[in-house]
Structure 1
């Protein structure tokens, strides 16, 4: 595990909210660029790579061989990621308070976990196929936070009741959550991206 921050920055119009790209397992800092470009064509885009390596695949936190998660590592890596966001947004002169997170799978998971467990600079997120890792230890107020969250009913990784638990936790914390469910597996579809695009236009 390295402490180095691997990031990629793609400039855009400086008056538009910067997009923070958080990849899925096996992705990297530029992995979501095609999706980010589709959803936010003219926005500046910043990707930060997770620093956990699982059998050659990049991740944001440790998953054990039996499929369970290392919760101590999750907390540690969330703190690291939030610090990395501070460093990289300052480096590229981006307004961290205006960040919109675009997270897929593992990246969406850590973004949602961060909201429920630690103070974050970002208040808007597109969470593609997220899951609840662990319930928050204490109540949190996510008023003025908003997210678009997607689920596929053929998903072999995320159970529907798990997804529903996550979105309910966010809603109970007063976040404004728009849910999109579709007949698909744990991958991105044109239908969900079009729905995300429609939601983004309401921001």
Structure 2
């Protein structure tokens, strides 16, 4: 495992199974570049792992973009940070010789991954979004051309309203994504069922 900066502080774990696509690991609020590495190893053994730290601090806690309140996003910052993250992915692909990664994001990380799908879809081969929300009120009209996306929502999630998750799924489908949306009997945190479904989905895609 190596630590480097490029335009984002990050961890990189080289592949031991070159047949697997790399994973882009995107942590939730208050996480860092090490948070989702165990999850990445569990759901995609042998895949290269690229795990950046969010560049925004909220009361000392890393995030990928600013918010104005719980569930209320600074959309100008969402767009700016999504483009910055896409540029980092380009840098990392050149540095490490990577194919386009599949994003695996949780909460705030899932939200920035959804923004990447709308704003810079060419940098991702697909995405697994754990407990995401709609990141932009008026998403761009870019086409995702069958890009595979898995959304895993929690029926008892106190942070993400069911309507919001459903709206995100609808908009990604309208943009052309090959979308699977599952709602699990869970809260906001990932469960073993999330890990099992993610592992199965990654193996199939």
Is TM (by shorter chain) over 0.5? yes
Whole-angstrom CA distance in 2 between matches of 1:137 and 1:185:
26
Gaps of 5+ in 1: none
Shift of residue 65, structure 1, vs aligned partner: 4.2
**What is the match of residue 3 of structure 2?**
none
| Paired residues of 2:86 and 2:120 also in contact (CA < 8 A) | no
Whole-angstrom CA distance in 2 between matches of 1:137 and 1:123:
19
Q: 1:7 aligns with which of 1, 5, 10?
A: 10
**What is the match of residue 194 of structure 1?**
196
Shift of residue 4, structure 1, vs aligned partner: 4.7
Shift of residue 177, structure 1, vs aligned partner: 0.8
Q: How many residue pairs were aligned?
A: 200
Shift of residue 143, structure 1, vs aligned partner: 1.0
**What is the match of residue 132 of structure 1?**
134
| Paired residues of 2:56 and 2:64 also in contact (CA < 8 A) | yes
State the TM-score, normalizing by the size of structure 2: 0.91
1:43 aligns with 2:47: yes
Give the ranges of 4+ consecutive aligned residues of structure 1 lying more than 4 Å apart after TM superposition.
none
1:73 aligns with 2:77: yes
Q: How does 1:3-152 map to 2 (within 5 A)?
A: 4-13=7-16, 14-65=18-69, 67-96=71-100, 99-152=101-154
State the TM-score, normalizing by the size of structure 1: 0.92
Whole-angstrom CA distance in 1 between matches of 2:190 and 2:144:
27
